[in-house]
Amino acid sequence: MARKCPEYIENLSDYLDGGIDPELCAEIEAHLGECNNCRIMVDTLRQTVTLCREGKPETLPASLEKKLTGLLRERWRQKFGK
């Protein structure tokens, strides 16, 4: 079964997203039941995406925020004359 792994991996993105043909989905799941490496790959890929989604977003620096207001107002004045 190991030699078929690359073919399954090619379809993992669709499989993880749930947007895959049901027949291929069943085939992949059967393979995951037999192939420990592919099972680990899928489990840890899912965790990778979850960890990245849970990451706290960076906040806008206060210095930039202050600078932006002045810059935007100036550009607005140039465009609209007010």
Partner 1 sequence: MDEKQLVAKAQAGDFEAFAKLIEANKQKVYAFVRRLTANTEDAEDILQDSFLKAIDKIDQFRGEASFGTWLSSIALNEARVLYARKKQFDLKPIEDYLPGAGSHGDDQQDSIRLFDWQDPQSQLESDELRRTVNGAVDKLPYKYREVFVLRYIEELSVKEVARLTKQTVASTKSRILRAPLALRDMLSSTFEERYGKKVS
Nearest distance in Å: CB 38, partner 1: 8
- Note whether 67 binds partner 1 by CB under 8 A: yes
Residue ranges in 18-47 that form contacts with partner 1 under rule CB under 8 A: 19, 36-37, 40-41, 43-45, 47
Look at residues 19, 22, 17 and name the one whose alpha carbon lies nearest to residue 42. Answer: 17
CA gap 16, 45 in Å, rounded: 9
Q: Is 65 an interacting residue with respect to partner 1 (CB under 8 A)?
A: yes
Please say which residue, 13 or 26, places its beta carbon nearer to partner 1.
13
Report the alpha-carbon distance of residue 65 to residue 8 in Å, rounded. Answer: 47
